[in-house]
Amino acid sequence: MSETPVYIELTATVVPLEPFRDVFIAQLGELGFDTFTDTEDGFQAYILKDQFSSDTIAETLQWDGVQVTYTLQEIEQVNWNAEWEKNFDPIDVDGRVYIHAPFHTPKQGYEHLMLIEPKMSFGTGHHQTTHMMIQWTLELPTEGLRVLDMGCGTGILGILAGMRGAAHIHGIDIDTWCVENTLENAERNAIAMSCDQGGAEAINDTYDLIYANINLNVLLSDMDGYVAALADGGTILFSGFYEENVPALRERAEGAGLTYEGIKGRDQWRSVKMRK
């Protein structure tokens, strides 16, 4: 593996907190921030140092009637295990999926029990976007499918597809930590899942189901790569964007040859289902 990546950590205080915390997280996601954690009075956001520019941060964290203060610092890594133990509660998705950490007692009565422990990764299931993707998965026939999890984070979506009978699961993420964490979590749950580091350029196969839970800018720029990798009749699930971004996402996807099939919403976040 490559050397430990250097990140920029942005710590923000937001007054009033809701619903503006999610507004700013969505906007930072469009700038390339890809990992977020809530705090009592705001949030922390992370971006690789070599992808960071301070030029637009002040403008991005502005909203009429909202006070935002923030600090920036350079870090080599975050001990997500320690952070998670302080803040993480088990996740219940519609009474069907129960996601827990090693320090929780597994709870019976669910279709799928999943053991997840993050490193420098995003996608624990708490965030609205991941939650919606799990809901889509529970509605889809995944038995025997070839599945790609783009921006896999902790590997939750690919692991769930495996639990539901997917025949082949592959993850891709730009972050070394996420690749390692996905492979570890797949092993914890006895799911065969491969994973590569990179972006859309790392796709080298075709798939029946693609998860693309990233951010709007990446989705728009990499759309052609996703569509090329999707088998005819296949399904792609998009998430990682705000309600106001849905028209742009649909226009780009439909222009690339996809057909709109449905939408989910959770707070101000949206997830769109499309088919080739």
pLDDT of 33 reads 85
pTM recorded for the entire structure: 0.74
Pairing of strands 42-48, 67-75: unpaired
pLDDT in tens, 32-70: 887 777 788 999 888 888 889 888 999 999 998 999 999
Predicted confidence (pLDDT) at residue 124 exceeds the cutoff of 60: no
Q: What is the CATH number of domain 7-78?
A: 3.30.70
- Residue ranges per domain, the chain? 7-78, 124-275
pLDDT of 83 reads 58
Q: Are the folds of 7-78 and 124-275 the same? A: no
pLDDT in tens, 67-116: 999 999 998 766 655 655 555 678 899 999 999 888 788 888 999 999 98
Residue 88 or 130, more confident: 130
> How far apart, in Å, are the Cα atoms of 204 and each of 51, 148, 173, 235?
25, 11, 14, 18
**Burial track 21-55 (b if 16+ CB lie within 10 A, e otherwise):** bbbbbbbbbbbebbbbbeeeebbbbbbbeeebeee
Q: Is 203 exposed, middle or buried (0-12, 13-18, 19+ CB in 10 A)?
A: buried
- Fold that domain 124-275 belongs to in CATH: Rossmann fold (3.40.50)
Tell me what the mean pLDDT of segment 249-257 comes to: 97
